[in-house]
Structure 1
Amino acid sequence: MKRKRIPITGDNCCYCYLAGIKSLSDISTDDILYASFKNYLCEIPFCVVIDKETNNIVIIVRGSLSLRDVITDITADSEVFICEGVPLNAQAHRSMITAARVILKQLDGNKVLERAFNTYPHYNLVLTGHSLGAGISILLAFLLRPRYPSLKVYAFATPAGLLSRELARITEEFVFTVGVGDDFVMRLSVESSENLRTSLLRVLHACRLPKYRVVLNGLGYMLFGIPEKDLEKTWNISIIDTISGETPLLNNRDLNSIEENRIYERDVTKRRYSKVKLYTGGRILHIVRCKSESSENESKKQNKEEKKFEMRWAQPEEFTELLVMPRMLLDHLPENIDEAITTLLEQQKELPQYVL
């Protein structure tokens, strides 16, 4: 039997990457329309598949997995995002804009979506991704939305430093974002990183203990286990205004010198690289763990144990502060997000009164 040829780029001679996708997603070769496994700076692997159960053509963008992806992540300064239907001077994550345009170029060059909709004219377009893939999916959706106005995006653990506020409001119309617990990426942006850096330096400077003890104890605490009694605690340090005393009204000729002073300031705590505050995108469903509380009533206590997760609608402003939390990394991992969603769905079947 002759094997169907799938447009694939960047795979090895044995098609190991393609085999990995088929194994993880449990989809057949006939349902894969296109796959790119090229992984360079601002070029992220993605694939296009057919979901016949929901009648959707799905674009799946991979999250961070390589050092190149990390560099794409940290090149996080803002850039004007020029796109049809987007407000003037709206800004977004620089590297993710480039990555979204690279994917669009591949889709158009191979006529992937055009051929897909010729074969399945009544299907809808859906984009999805995790972390870096979620951010790129949202920006790619902006680029595709003029052609496919009914498209939807399902984003998981979307980075905080993605969109200016006006763009984030627009995404609420077509993007559904899912975040779990204390996920640090949903709070990670240039501005929140600078605020955390400043707070840590100020606290270390004021601390009487030797700095090596503070650092080593902190690293040991993170790497070799967290005591069970501390799992519900937050290492929350009040943010200190690093540009206090600056004149609120400035002339245009002074802006360049102020920006330069922020970057090259001798005092590290006063250095500022962020120019525009960026937010996460979409309508945000935040899944949080239920806190265990002692109760005299055994039935209530048993009910508390059954109810492991709660969910609520959240606003982007709630994820602008980078908090150091015991589960900040674990809650970002895709397998833990999948486990939380699966547990929540099972919980809803058993406890329908907790449906949102």
Structure 2
Amino acid sequence: MREFAYRRASDVRDALVAGSTGARYLGGGTNLVDLMKSGVEIPDRLVDVRRLPLSGIGELPDGGLSVGATTTNSDLAAHPEVRRRYPAVSQAVLAGASGQLRNMATVGGNLLQRTRCGYFADVSQPCNKRMPGSGCPALAGEHHNHAVLGRSQHCAATHPSDLAVALVAFDAVVRYETLDGVGEIPLEAFYPPVGQTPHRETALPPGALITAVLLPGSALSPRSRYRKVRERASYAFATVSIAAGLDEATGSARIALGGVASRPWRARTAEAVLRDNPGDRPEAGGRFWDPDLLRAAAEAELAAADPLPGNGYKVTLARNLIVAALTTLSREETRR
């Protein structure tokens, strides 16, 4: 690891001043420090923001929740109102890492973690994320766990965060600060399309510090679940995952996929198919969709898939996961 300077920020402005001159923010360090050890990240200066007053979970006026950026993943997963109002968020965190990592990792840092593509992590290999213009060896190389949606000829890596998938499903908003003031970005727009600039991984302005994540009350979904398929039963990154929620008032669905794209993938085409075909509503308040309709919704979403020779199985897996998750979810009673 290269030598670097370290300081602990005394307040948010102190951190922002350092960030405006090129310093990197350090939260739990569960991703950044690993990348520094491998030589992928080589910051000259780190500014520790862990002790800034940016932790905790509070109420929003619309019935949603505000999650401070330095809140640990463990605290987020265990919070009773998160578990009650957005259970898929809690489940996504618990599916994402071991207890030791959850105790250290922060919500803001989780959203900024970088891909686990083997070519990205190997500094002896070209990679457009590390060295723009150097190429993407995954396209012709090992890519069985790479993207099938939204990829480009410049990058086929997938986004690693489980939490971000659940947050995208519930229209979460990222709040940040710069020296110019406070700003907000919907999480769905926080991650730009990979296009020709895979090294540009977020829409944050330079030097911006994430201060909170907002879960709006309009997306409240006590009937929601997160399901994850991975290559081993222990903590591993998603092969394909899904965050799904049902709106009890309208019977519409919220669907986001993980492990299939360079960013959490909001399945809006599938949502539209189900919204236009509302299905049956039994007296208990549930919503039942015909399996054929669920498959049609999944296939409509995945019609845009562009798999590589070695990862076409993900398209089938994603289709089956959408059908299975919504079939199960629509038959569950709402948690009170």
Q: TM-score, normalised by structure 1?
A: 0.25
Q: TM-score, normalised by structure 2?
A: 0.26
